[in-house]
Structure 1
Amino acid sequence: MSLVTRAACVALGLCAAACIHGPQSPSPPADFATVEVQRSDRAKLYADCIGEAVAADRYGRAHDEDTELVVFTCTGPAARSFFEGLGDWSAGAGSQVEADGRVVRSTNPVVRDLFGVDYCARSSAGEHSCSVSLNAGAFLRP
């Protein structure tokens, strides 16, 4: 292959790569319309837990390098209902484990630790507690 042909192939390849990885089209403008919501028994489990946590002053900030959370912790009837509500779901999702003398059920399988995971636990004494995390973003930073 001659030097001119080789140079033409390289130039053509660079042009094709530029087309594939060219500038992205601009995003459409943000839509600030109110989001439609529907009643949900599972959403009520969250609401009852958060309400109980607020009433008992059991909420606070948790964070890592790039995530800021408000964590609400409920106990008692709200936690027991949430724990029971997670039963079939956790069994099917593979997100129920026994650890440290308690049964832990989470809304999603735990990958590394419980940071940012919504979960409920039942102790060997039959006491229930749940933690619900709200990703609040940079606003929460001190």
Structure 2
Amino acid sequence: MLLKQLKYFLPHAGRPDGRHRRPLRINIDFEKGVIRISGNYRHALATAREGIESLPEWVQINASIYPSETLELQNSDVTNVILAVDGQLNEGMGPYPCAGLLVLGAVSGTGGWDLTLYLYDQLAACREVRIRLPLPDNSDSFYLN
């Protein structure tokens, strides 16, 4: 299985007050080495020292993957792939530099893979964005809804 591109879309969800949140969109192009994420910050936030209610709802992340290349996942003995990520995080007050890792891990016994993106705001040590997605095992490009 060649992994070239991943597109993920999580539709907006209603809030108790009847208003809607922004959808979460993730576009990762492994060949070009580009990550684009926009949408609800609270969906993507893993940890914060401040209360989650005090965080902005919207975030945009533009980052680069090193190295940029199509990944061969199926016909190899590799069980983990770790790539460096460097970019900018903008939640309305930025942009701020962010860095982290994109980790692809084989799921034991299933033949599938999980993708986990760890990004750290380099100016606010208390913020970590962590996004985990399962990858289907039968396509070159993934469009998850």
* TM-score normalised per structure 1: 0.27
* TM-score normalised per structure 2: 0.27
Larger % of helix: which?
1
| Bigger CA radius of gyration | 1
* Greater relative contact order (CA < 8 Å, ≥ 6 in sequence): 2
